[in-house]
Amino acid sequence: QVQLVQSGAEVKKPGASVQVSCKTSEYTFADYYIHWVRQAPGQGLEWMGWIDPNIGDTDYAQKFQGRVTMTRDTSITTAYMDLSRLRSDDTAVYYCARGHGESGAFDIWGQGTKVTVSS
Amino acid sequence: DIVMTQSPDSLAVSLGERATINCKSSPSVLYRTNNNNYLAWYQQKPGQPPKLLIYWASTRESGVPDRFSGSGSGTDFTLTISSLQAEDVAVYYCQQYYSTPYTFGQGTRLEIK
């Protein structure tokens, strides 16, 4: 079945960078946007941006502009999210999610990657 | 940015009873060219990623039980669970995908009374 499998938990120091990967399977990677959403502990959902795996176009939330980079490797059907200059308030679970083909809502989600930023 | 506001923040309903969650957008998420409301509902259980329940405000995702229904248009939307089951305990989020940044409501925690 369609799956998005994310990389494992990370612990980083303030100022460092983190990369989270999202390995997709059982669908045509190029046909569906990949979105990144994060959730701070006990908090709600925050959209970070999307990447079009077909041509690599991206759209980032203004809040993350200059710190986030979304890329993909079509040969291994994997999307990546890099976040730099980490702060303690970047501590969160980071999700990748597939854009629903019919509507644009997010129909398939990865299991989440916990990123902890602590000195 | 489009602001999504849910009410109530938490809700306790007896098993078998109806649960209703509201979501208001500001401004509207109705795209008049195709008459679609760019509004989705998600369910999130502890330790799990969100699960898509409803898109286009009222279209149930494949595999979602028919006790879940969505309604509304423009700026006011409702998620209804017609007969609450124990497995429906979760946090529910509305989301607009009309324009970026895509935004979510703050969530509504649904519990059993």
Cβ of B49 and A102 within 8 Å?
no
First to last CA, chain B: 36
**Nearest CB partner across the interface for B55, out of A47, A62, A100:** A100
Predicted local distance difference test score (pLDDT) of residue B101: 97
| Chain A residue closest in CA terms to B96 | A105
Would an 8 Å CB–CB cutoff place A101 in contact with chain B?
no
Cross-strand partners of A6:
A22
A47, A60, A95, A114: best mutation site toward chain B, by most B Cβ within 10 Å? A47
Instruction: Give chain B's mean pLDDT.
Output: 97
Cβ of A47 and B101 within 8 Å?
yes
How close B65 gets to chain A, by Cα (Å)?
16
What is the rounded (10 degree) CA torsion for B70, B72, B75, B76?
A: -80
Cβ of B103 and A47 within 8 Å?
yes
Read off the pLDDT band of A62 (50, 70, 90).
very high
Q: Is the pLDDT of residue A100 over 90?
A: no
Instruction: Give chain A's mean pLDDT.
Output: 97
Upstream peptide bond of B8 is cis (omega within 30 degrees of 0): yes
CB B46 within 8 A of CB B64: no
Read off the pLDDT band of A103 (50, 70, 90).
confident
Read off the pLDDT band of A73 (50, 70, 90).
very high
Which residues, 6 or more positions from A55, have their beta carbon under 8 angstroms from its beta carbon?
Answer: none
The number of residues making up chain B comes to 113
Which residues, 6 or more positions from A30, have their beta carbon under 8 angstroms from its beta carbon?
Answer: A53, A54, A74
Read off the pLDDT band of A101 (50, 70, 90).
confident
Read off the pLDDT band of A102 (50, 70, 90).
confident
Read off the pLDDT band of A105 (50, 70, 90).
very high
Those residues of chain B that have pLDDT short of 50 are none
